[in-house]
Amino acid sequence: MMSSNLKLLRGLVKELRHRTRTGTAIDSPLIHFVFNQFRKFQVTSELVCRQAKEAQSTGEAYFVYLESSRKHAELLKHYHGRGERSVEDTAKLVGFKLPHDSD
């Protein structure tokens, strides 16, 4: 359980780092908030509650959202249309060759 929480925290910090302009997010208030939430919902021997799993699933949902939105932005940047494409350019984009190009 502890290693999955640590993986989740590292993944969240990595994705939040992608969101910053400088690439270092350690001084970000958002990072401090995430660390505080992980400390707040930390399970100890004295405290075993349902909220720990709720916090973990919420964290996983945020991680998936951040990672997916980053990948979506990368795909948009790569495949975004820059006006009208020729038939040859479109064929190359999807990996096909035109009949007269096969020689």
The ranges assigned to domains in the chain are: 2-81
What digits encode the pLDDT tens for the residues 51-83?
A: 657 777 888 898 999 999 999 998 888 877 667
CA distance 82 to 97: 21
State pLDDT tens for residues 13-49: 888 888 776 656 667 788 888 888 878 777 655 555 5
Length of the chain: 103
Please report, for the chain, how many H helices and E strands are present, in that order. Answer: 4, 0
pTM of the model: 0.56
Q: What is the dihedral of CA 71, 62, 64, 38, to 10 degrees?
A: 120
CA 10 from centre of chain: 12
